[in-house]
Structures are given as structure tokens and as C-alpha cells.
Amino acid sequence: MNTTRQTIVTEDPWAELKQFTDARISLGRCGVSLPLSESLAFRLAHAQARDAVLQPFAMDAVSSALERQGHSCLQLHSAVADRGEFLTRPDLGRRLSEASRERLRALGPESRGADVCVVISNGLSSRAVHENAVPFAVQFLDSLRYGGLSYAPVCLVDQGRVAVGDEVAELLSARLVVMLIGERPGLSSPNSLGVYMTFAPRVGVTDEARNCISNVREGGLSVDMGVRKLAYLVENAFAMRLSGVQLKDKMPSGYLPFRPQPRLA
């Protein structure tokens, strides 16, 4: 009896390139349609992306994890009322609620005037923050301590956009803000963490004044490499007193955060 099964799927001639990327390429075809396996994979990826957007921000869990590492936290909220308003009113996601604003104003001088303020928000993917924000923040704050830089309590903002970090840092009189935020989910990356850095943050700063490190996640940019890149940008932002498009990434391959760098021969 002939046990050989004949496939009805026509492979894409570039199928071997799939080993180099999670992008949806070289899917093959079955007649004039996608193969069933690829169609099901697409529906699963789409469901995971929706879940990442709609999953609530577990601020208590993130805050507890940071505090166990010795970092004090503040829990804040943007000006949006719910997830639906967050998705349709980006302007409200860029500002704090009045209650959160008052909470920051009421803090004592020990929380003000730090070199760096780290802000964490779920943005468009709570999953990205749940999986990546704590290890990233802990490693980065440790590097700041090693470098002799001060930092404010870590501020967690529910339903925030990138610019909400500017208001937090301005109210805390911080010299520089680092925002860790869930990125808009892609169909192969529902858990990407974005990192934004702004020198001299204040309400009204535009995106050209920020530096961005994207796709921090397992399978993307590692936490270790992301922290090294951020530390390099922070060092140079303080040295040049600027950030954004005028601050170029020229990090040498052997760079170590806040350590004397070896001289080039």
C-alpha cells in the first residue's frame, strides 16, 4: 500500500527566509487561498493583538514587583475615563487626571528634582508592560545608581500615552524622563515594549525632542541591549543637554553603561 501523502499546499519559493523573521512572509497557497494552517495562525495572532490592547493594566502587580526590588512607586491615572475613551481620545491619554496631578503636587521635596524620572504606562499593550517593564526598569535603575544619578519614585500611569510622562516629570521637576510603554501590537509581536527618552521634559514637548528604542521583548531587542542603548542615550543627553533628532545613536560595540570607555587605538 502506498502510504505517501500528497500535499495540496504550494510552498512559496522564498519559504526558507521565514527562519530569519517573525513577519508574515512566504505563506504559500492552497489553490488561490491561504493554507488552512496559515489562516488559523493569522486569526490567533489577531486575537492575541486584541487581547493585548484590551487587557487591564495590573498596576498592583507591577508596583509590588518593583517595590520588592527596593524601588518606591506611585500609581497614577491619565485623564481618560475608560478604555474606549483611551482609544478614541489620544489627547486625554497625554494628560494626567486632576487627582493624579494633585497627588504629585502634594509630594515632599525628597521626591523632586531628581536627574531621571521613570514612568511606566500600559499604552496600547498591557501584556508588553507585564512581561518586560519590571526587568527593564530594575536593570536601568541599577545602572543609574552605579552612575551616581538620582531618580524619582517610579510612576505607573494607567491608560497613558507617551506624552503623559512629560507632565509627570514636570510636576516632579525631573531633568529627564524615561517612558516605558506598551507599543501598538503587531500580528507577530503583541508584547513589544517601547522606550522613550526626553531631556528637559515639560507639557507641550513634541515628538522630535524624544529618542525611541522599540521592540523590547523576547524575540526582539533584549532587555540587556535595550538598557545599554538607553544608558548611552541618557549619558549623552546630559552631556549635550538635549535629546531627540539632534542626539544621534553612535554607541560603540563595547559600550558599558556609565563606565569609563576604553580609548580607541
> From the annotation, which residues make up the binding site for adenosylcob(III)alamin?
162, 183, 212
Sign of the dihedral through C-alpha 233, 237, 240, 245: positive
Binding site members = 162, 183, 212
Strands of the 116-121 sheet, one edge to the other:
73-77, 154-158, 116-121, 176-182, 193-199, 210-216
CA distances from 19 to 23, 26, 208 (A): 10, 11, 35
Q: Which three cell numbers stand for residue 95?
A: 494628560
Dihedrals phi, psi of 206, to nearest 5 degrees: -100, 170
CA 50 to chain CA centroid, nearest Å: 18
Instruction: Show Cβ contacts of residue 182 under 8 Å, excluding neighbours closer than 6 positions.
Output: 52, 121, 122, 123, 124, 125, 126, 127, 128, 129, 192, 193, 194
Pairing status of strand 73-77 against strand 154-158: parallel
Amino acid at 56: P
Give percent helix, percent strand, percent coil of the chain, each to the nearest 5.
Answer: 40, 20, 40
- Asked if 83 and 143 count as a contact pair (C-beta separation under 8 A), the reply is no
How far is 171 from 103, CA to CA, in rounded Å?
Answer: 10
Q: Which residue's C-alpha cell is 488552512?
A: 36
